[in-house]
A = this chain, B = another copy of it.
């Protein structure tokens, strides 16, 4: 940015601060939403009347009204004339949640890339119903507004900044990211931030910083398949730690593995884990951190879905507890704002300088115009407004898919109920083969992500990840019906 145009950075943090100092009715709505999500309030059940709620919870009637309007807007409850509010009926016969995954307690040479690539190649056809996709619908993103920010940024970017931004990263963007950390309670010196080509590059660089070929890395089970591919590429071995579908990593199992094995790094998603959608509680995140400090094992925290939480409480990262610079916190704008711009970052803790150098030796820099466009958008584009819309859309779509699954899938199917993101994880009876299901589904124009690509030991054969990141429409509903029939046929 030229000196003639001083930075306007007020819009973002204050918007977020307001959100942080959440309104009373939003808090109350969140509490009710949690009761619905966890099944305390079942489909079709009446939510407390305004009078009752006001008296019981000590909030004003207008707060309750506002909260119920919000919940109606989020698609969780609906009004019935002269009867009050009811939990929406869309999950008449809700499916159960899966349980904690089993613990293998061994190290695994990773050899999944071929399988992953062949599955991913099969998912590319744009004419299939994209339940197997890794991305939410690009229609959910403010692409025209981003284009405006790009034009604005390119007008202001001096030729010499284009060169300078290649080594250091765009200063405005780094400041905006640091401000977002600050607002979410993480005080971060800007020097810790390295801008990368999406989170994927950040994760790669972090792993290279702290490992040598042959080393052991603890990962979740199931985990994001690209994590396994990276391990394989770098000739690292996986130690698979079981994950509870709601509470996240099994800390007991992790503690055992850390005691018994020379683990060099952990690569975890502490919030909205892919594929399970699990989020650890803050207490558990802190306990995880203390465990890692005890063993002096660095954490690569992959937090790319953090902005897609439902409700009004942004999840805190493990990074927020990091006294010692042991956590490398990786994220990006790819899932929340700007797919294809390929801008991510890492708050690299004690490894920041080493990560920056490694980046200079591999790709030098992410695209400078893309960095400048995002910096402009973060200052002027209304990111928080967009995020609220996006979260609402995803929450509605999750409800729709859950309800559809309950209608069409066999009753002994289990499914997660994540509090954000755009993935559901389905656990079918053990004898189902999800790779076979994928073949049959593709023949019917439907994609899905089969369980074995999420596991170093190629477990989860009877599981599949389905993407609800696309607006729900009759063909989604029909696709669920077809899938349900295919699953039943295979059992």
Contact = CB atoms under 8 A, between A and B. Distances in A.
Interface of A: 113, 117, 124, 126, 135, 137-139, 141, 143, 146-147, 150-151, 154-155, 159-160, 162-167, 197-198, 200-201, 204, 213, 226, 229-230, 233, 339-343, 357-358, 360-370, 373
Nearest to A364: B200
Contact of A163 (B147, B339, B367): B339
A213 B197 CA distance: 25
A87 to B, nearest CB: 34
Nearest to A341: B367
A404 B410 CA distance: 83
Interface of A is mostly: helix
Given A159-B138, A367-B366, A126 B361 contact: no
A342 B366 contact: yes
Contacts of A147: 151, 154-155
A226 B361 contact: yes
A233 B367 contact: no
A164 B123 CA distance: 11
8 contacts: A126-B160, A141-B159, A162-B340, A198-B364, A213-B213, A340-B365, A341-B368, A342-B367
Contact of A342 (B124, B135, B143, B365): B365
A343 B166 CA distance: 13
A126 B164 contact: yes
A373 B167 CA distance: 22
B357 A369 contact: no
B198 A363 contact: yes
Given A154-B150, A367-B367, A233 B138 contact: no
Nearest 6 pairs between A and B by C-beta?
A138-B159, A340-B368, A367-B367, A162-B340, A147-B154, A197-B363
A318 to B, nearest CB: 24
B167 A138 contact: no
Nearest to A232: B361
Contacts of A198: 363-365
A342 B363 contact: yes
A150 to B, nearest CB: 6
A341 B165 CA distance: 11
B362 A200 contact: yes
Contact of A151 (B138, B150, B160, B233): B150
A156 to B, nearest CB: 10
Given A165-B340, A233-B358, A369-B369, 5 more contacts: A135-B163, A150-B150, A163-B340, A226-B361, A342-B363
Contacts of A197: 197, 363-367
Nearest to A342: B367
Residue among A124, A139, A200 with most chain B CB within 10 A? A200
